[in-house]
Each structure stands twice: as structure tokens, then as C-alpha cells.
Amino acid sequence: MKKEYILAGLAIFGVIAIVAYVQKPKRNSDGFFNAGGASKLKPHRRCYCRTPDGHLYLSETEGCNGSDRCVGRTGVY
């Protein structure tokens, strides 16, 4: 067997090992793998809602209740 084939195989194996190491899941500060349930792609943002009679409140979900409308968003929670 030629040396070039052996070296090429080892090089390909090394690249695959490096890519697999870099892409493995990372633990958060508590030692879990994204155990909070929040996705990094779509974070949970709470909404400031205004009722039809003018009262303003902070919702506990992403949307407002019933006929209330969202007038602003908070940061990621």
C-alpha cells in the first residue's frame, strides 16, 4: 500500500474527529444540555399588553389574552 493513501486516510480521519469534537453539544452553567427548554433559535419574549379600556400589563406568555393587543416586547426571559 502506498504511503500517500495511508496519509490521506489519516488526514481525513483527523478532520472528521476535529469537526465532531467542535460540534458536540455543550453543557450550560448548571451542567445540563439546554435543559431550560428555551431554544436558541426562537427565544421566549414576553409582551406588554394593552386592554381595550387602556390598562397596560406584562403578559406571562408570548401573546396577549383575548381582545388585548401587544404594544411592546421585553428582552429574552
- The string of pLDDT tens digits covering residues 31-65 is 676 665 555 555 567 888 999 998 898 887 777 88
Can you give the pLDDT at residue 14?
94
List, for residues 6-24, the tens digit of each pLDDT value. 999 999 999 999 988 888 7
| Predicted model pTM | 0.39
Give me the pLDDT at residue 39, please: 52
Closest CA to 72 of 58, 61, 51: 58
Do 44 and 77 meet the contact criterion of CB atoms below 8 Å apart? yes
From first CA to last CA, the distance across the chain in angstroms is: 59
Count of structural domains within the chain: 1
- Spatial CA neighbour of 62 closest among 34, 48, 37: 48
Domain of 10 in residue numbering reads as 3-35+43-76
